[in-house]
Amino acid sequence: MSLAAPPALGRPPTHDPAWLGRVAWAAALLVLVWPLAVATEFRPWLLLAPDSLRAGGRFLASFFPPALGAEFLAQVLRETWRTVAMATAGITLGLLIAVPATLLTTRALSVSALSGRMARGPFWVRQALRWGLIVLRSIPELVWALVFVRVVGLGPTAGVLAIALTYGGMLGKVYGEILESGDPAPTEALLHNGSGRLQAFAYGLLPQNAAELASYTVYRWECAIRSSVVLGFVGAGGLGQQMDSAMKMFNGGEVVTLLAVFVALVALADRFSAGLRRVLG
Amino acid sequence: MKLELSGVAARHPAARDGAAPALQPLSLRVAAGEQVAVIGPSGAGKTTLLQVLACALPPLAGELQLDGTDPWRLPRGALQRLRGRLFLAPQVPPLPPRQRVVTAVLAGRLPALGLWASLRSLLYPADIPAAHAALLRFDLADKLFERVDRLSGGERQRVGLARALLAPATLWLIDEPLSALDPSRAQQAMRTLVDDATARAVTLVATLHQVDMALAHFPRIVGLRDGALAFDLPARQVTPEHLARLYAQHEDELHGGPAPMDAAPLPPPPPVVMHCR
State the pLDDT at residue B273. 59
Amino acid at B12: H
d(CA A133, CA A127): 10
Residue of A nearest to B95 (CA): A186
Provide DSSP, B124-156.
S-TTHHHHHHHHHHTT-GGGTTSBGGGS-HHHH
* Nearest beta carbon to residue A216 from set B85, B113, B275: B275
Which of chain A's residues have a Cβ under 8 Å away from the Cβ of B81?
A: 194
CA of A117 vs chain B CAs: smallest distance (Å):
9
The 3-state DSSP class for residue A93 equals helix
**Cα B120–A216–A86 angle (5° rounding)?**
90
Query: Does A143 reside within a domain?
Result: yes
For position B262, what pLDDT does the model report?
A: 44
Contacts with A85 (C-beta within 8 Å, 6 or more apart), sequence order:
A156
pLDDT at residue B73 in the model: 92
Q: Is residue A169 part of a domain?
A: yes
Residues in A closer than 8 angstroms to B80, CB to CB, are 111, 191, 194, 196
Q: Residue A203: inside a domain, yes or no?
A: yes
The chain B residues in contact with chain A (CB within 8 A) are: 13, 54-58, 76, 80-88, 90, 92, 94-99, 103, 107-108, 110-111, 113, 115, 118-119, 122, 167, 169, 269, 271-277
Residue among B118, B93, B86 at smallest CA distance from B103: B118
* Among A190, A210, A216, beta carbon nearest to B110: A190
The strand ranges marked E within chain B are 3-10, 23-30, 35-39, 61-66, 86-89, 171-175, 203-207, 220-225, 228-234
Task: Find the angle CA(B44)-CA(B46)-CA(B52) to the nearest 5 degrees.
Answer: 125
DSSP state of B97: T
pLDDT greater than 70 at residue A44? yes
Closest CA to A160 of A71, A233, A225, A218: A225
Name the residue among B13, B56, B98 with its Cβ closest to that of A207: B98
The DSSP secondary-structure symbol of B109 reads G
Residue A16 within a domain? no
CB contact under 8 A, B107 and A281: no
What number of other Cβ atoms are within 10 A of residue B169's Cβ?
24
Across the interface, whether the CB atoms of A203 and B56 are under 8 A apart is answered no
Domains in chain A, number: 1
Of residues A111, A203, A210, nearest to B80 (C-beta): A111
Q: What is the pLDDT, as a whole number, of residue A131?
A: 93
Minimum distance, in Å, between the CA of residue A36 and any CA atom of chain B = 24
Contacts of A117 in chain B (CB under 8 A): none
Q: Confidence band (pLDDT; 50, 70, 90) for A225?
A: confident
CA of A223 vs chain B CAs: smallest distance (Å): 10
Of the residues B110, B116, B121, the best mutation for testing chain A's interface (the one with the most A CB atoms within 10 Å of its CB) is B110
Strand ranges inside A34-193, DSSP E: none
H-run or E-run covering A217: helix A206-231
Condensed to tens digits (0 to 9), the pLDDT of residues A117-162 reads 788 888 999 999 999 999 998 999 889 988 998 898 888 899 999 9
Whether the per-residue pLDDT at A4 is higher than 70: the answer is: no
Task: Choose the mutation target among B55, B60, B80, B146 for the interface with A, i.e. most A CBs under 10 Å.
Answer: B80
Q: Nearest Cα to A175, choosing from A125, A103, A232?
A: A103
Which pLDDT value is given to residue B259? 45
- C-beta of residue B53 within 8 angstroms of C-beta of residue B29: no
Nearest residue in A to B147, CA atom: A207
Q: Which residue in B has a C-alpha nearest to residue A187's C-alpha?
A: B94
pLDDT in tens, chain B (277 residues): 899 999 999 987 666 666 778 888 999 999 999 999 999 998 888 999 999 999 999 998 999 999 999 999 999 889 999 999 999 999 889 999 889 999 999 999 999 998 999 999 999 998 999 999 999 999 999 999 999 999 998 999 999 999 999 999 999 999 999 988 888 899 999 999 999 999 999 999 999 988 999 999 999 999 999 889 999 999 999 999 999 999 888 887 777 555 444 444 555 666 665 555 5
Nearest CA to A106 out of A179, A204, A208 is that of: A179
Give residue A1's pLDDT: 45
CA A21 to chain B, closest CA, distance in angstroms equals 33
* Whole-number Å distance between alpha carbons of B171 and B200: 10
A-B contacts (CB, under 8 Å)? 113
Show the domain range for A214: 70-280
Contact A193 B86 (CB under 8 A): yes
Backbone angles phi, psi at B205, to 5 degrees: -120, 120
CATH number, residue A185 = 1.10.3720.10
CB A235 within 8 A of CB A158: yes
Cα B150 to Cα A77, A278, B263, B264: the distances in Å are: 46, 17, 12, 10
CB contact under 8 A, B96 and A208: yes
CA separation for the pair B118, B116 (Å, rounded):
5
Question: DSSP string of B218-246?
Answer: -SEEEEEETTEEEEEEEGGG--HHHHHHH
Give the CA angle between residues A131, A165, A148 to the nearest 5°. 125
Instruction: Compare A35 and A236 and report the one with higher pLDDT.
Output: A35
* A242 burial type by CB count under 10 A (0-12 exposed, 13-18 middle, 19+ buried): buried
Tell me if A35 is assigned to some domain: no
Reported for A114-118, long-range contacts at CB under 8 A and 24+ positions apart, including other chains, are A114/A188, A114/A191, A114/A192, A114/B56, A115/B13, A115/B55, A115/B56, A115/B57, A115/B58, A116/B13, A116/B58
Calculate the average pLDDT of chain A. Answer: 88
Is residue B232 within 8 Å of residue B28, measured between CB atoms? Answer: yes
Any domain includes A13: no
Whose CA is closest to B171, among B246, B89, B229? B89
Q: What is the 3-state secondary structure (H, E, C) of A23-79?
A: HHHHHHHHHHHHHHHHHCCCCHHHHHCHHHHHHHHHHHHCCCCCCCCHHHHHHHHHH
Residues 6+ apart with CB under 8 A from A56: none
Q: Do residues B40 and B77 lie in contact, with contact meaning Cβ atoms separated by under 8 Å?
A: no
Q: CA–CA separation, B162 vs B138, rounded Å?
A: 7
Whether the CA torsion B156, B161, B166, B169 is positive or negative: it is positive
pLDDT > 90? residue A56: no
Of A192, A198, A212, the CB nearest to B83: A192
Task: Tell whether A261 is covered by a domain.
Answer: yes
Instruction: Using an 8 Å CB-CB cutoff, list chain A residues near B271.
Output: 277, 281
* Closest C-alpha among B242, B175, B163, B246 to residue B205: B175
A152 within domain boundaries? yes
Q: Is B203 exposed, middle or buried (0-12, 13-18, 19+ CB in 10 A)?
A: buried
CB B158 within 8 A of CB B138: yes
